[in-house]
Amino acid sequence: MVDLYRVLSLRKTASKDEIKSAYKTLSRKLHPDRFLDQLTFKPANMSVAELREYATDNMVGVSTLVDKADLVQVAQDIHKRAEVLPRKQRERMKEIEGEFQMVTLAYRTLGVDDEARRYYDLTGDWGEEEEFVWGGGERNMGDRKEAERVRERGRKSQMDDVQRRVYDAYLRENKEKEEKEKTMREEGERVRKLQRERTEEERNR
């Protein structure tokens, strides 16, 4: 599990202002736009092996080509047609985007919504379907109920409007089902009570 405080290089006691400041600093440092040079297609700077790999990855045979200039030309033609980066640059792009997204996630979880932060502090996750693990009897039932309440509110705070509407509809449906089952149980108990009373009356005649 990723430690979101560590992502922002902060302690768990960090204030909202500290979280916001850390996010601004890291988001500027890790924004994908700062790495455009690394993600620009430059076949002339690639080695012969990388050029061959690029061509092979794009289903172009270059086994007969030896001169680097010819391989560069092939790579340029592939990129012009498919607009795809070499494998190494694609991996670097994923890495850059992943780091930036994780910083953004950390800020949204810890620095925007107090309930989401409390939920994360208690459960260690940020809204995913994950069981809360209770260890060693360290928390009493009151703590558990409070954590479950925070978890519920934290999960809902992470949902977008569509998810929230679906989730609310699910809760309403479950509530209606429970009320219907309760009514049926009460009706069954009422019928059984009437039957017992009638049986008792017949015995007393």
What would the pLDDT profile of 108-121 be if each residue is shown by its tens digit?
889 888 888 888 88
58: three-class secondary structure by DSSP: coil
- CA–CA gap between residue 106 and residue 22 (Å, rounded): 10
Q: What is the pLDDT of residue 9?
A: 92
- Would you say residue 81 has pLDDT above 90? no
Quick one: pLDDT at residue 144?
A: 47
* Those residues with Cβ within 8 angstroms of residue 90's Cβ, 6 or more apart along the chain or in another chain: 84
pLDDT (tens digit per residue) in 168-188? 665 677 677 778 778 777 777
Q: What is the mean pLDDT of residues 49-60?
A: 86
At residue 69's C-alpha, the angle toward residues 72 and 92, to 5°, is: 30
Give the mean pLDDT of 74-95: 85
Place of tokens 């498919």: 82
- Judged against a pLDDT cut of 90, whether residue 23 lies above it is answered with yes
pLDDT above 70 for 127: no
pLDDT bracket for residue 37 (50, 70, 90): confident
Predicted local distance difference test score (pLDDT) of residue 18: 94
Pick the more confident residue, 60 or 103: 103
Q: Where are the domains of the chain?
A: 4-123+140-160, 161-205
Q: Look at residues 98, 108, 122 and name the one whose alpha carbon lies nearest to residue 159.
A: 108
The whole-number average pLDDT for the span 55-69 is 83
> Cα–Cα distance between 85 and 47 in angstroms, integer?
15
Res. 107: pLDDT tops 50 = yes
